[in-house]
């Protein structure tokens, strides 16, 4: 596996979310602002469909974050573009 491919792999993160599902904390970093959210539904015709809710966030320390909630497993991940 190449180095750039390894950087692109989703990494598990700890997320605290609000009642509506929006992240309010990622790995202990408080979320300052929610910039965007989108839903990805793909491979619905296969035995392993993909359903993810992505969130683009800004943390209080100024970091831009993109996390997603895997709606099949319930787990949270971050992934670089």
What digits encode the pLDDT tens for the residues 34-66? 999 999 999 888 888 899 999 999 999 999 999
For the full predicted model, state whether its pTM sits above 0.85: no
Is 7's pLDDT higher than 80? no
- Domain count for the chain: 1
Given this model, what pLDDT does residue 69 score?
96
Structural domain harbouring 25: 3-78
The model's confidence at residue 22, banded by pLDDT at 50, 70 and 90, is very high
The DSSP code sequence of 24-52 is EEETTEEEEEEEEEEEEEE-TTSSS-EEE
């Amino acid at each position: 596996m190449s180095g750039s491919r390894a950087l692109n792999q989703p990494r598990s993160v700890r997320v605290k979310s609000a009642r509506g599902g929006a992240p309010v904390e990622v790995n202990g970093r408080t979320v300052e602002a929610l910039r965007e959210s989108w839903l990805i539904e793909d491979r619905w015709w296969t035995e392993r469909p993909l359903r993810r809710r992505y969130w683009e966030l800004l943390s209080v320390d100024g970091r831009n974050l993109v996390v997603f909630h895997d709606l099949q497993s319930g787990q949270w991940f971050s992934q670089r573009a």
